[in-house]
Amino acid sequence: MADDPLDARIQRLDVPVLAIHGRRDQMYTCAPSIARYSAAGARTAIIEDAGHSPHVESPQAVAVVLRQFLR
């Protein structure tokens, strides 16, 4: 990851990207991570009541975000 961080990968993609981040993530601080992904061109979403695995911790909230993104 250090040699090819996610935000650099996002910039190279030619497709819409959605970055979903848990507000309570203890591995990666939410605000700077979301800022990096947004600056790279990704659409972003924060799941307030989740940590590092929002798809496991708050699957319904993630499903709502995914539905909105796919529209």
As a whole number of angstroms, the distance between CA 55 and CA 3 comes to: 26
Q: CB within 8 A of 31, min separation 6: which ones?
A: none
* pLDDT of res. 2: 72
* Domain presence at residue 1: no
The band of 1, judged by pLDDT with boundaries at 50, 70 and 90, is low
Query: Can you give the residue range of the structural domain that contains 38?
Result: 6-70
| pTM confidence score | 0.85
**Number of independent structural domains in the chain:** 1
Q: What is the CATH number of the domain that holds 41?
A: 3.40.50.1820
DSSP state of 5: -
Model pLDDT for residues 13-64, shown as the tens digit of each residue = 989 999 999 999 999 999 999 999 999 999 999 999 999 999 999 999 999 9
Instruction: Evaluate whether residue 16 is within a structural domain.
Output: yes
Among 26, 30, 29, 28, smallest CA distance to 47 is for 30
Q: What is the pLDDT of residues 2-16, one digit of tens each?
A: 788 888 889 899 899
**Is 40 strand, coil or helix?**
coil
What is the per-residue pLDDT for 41? 94
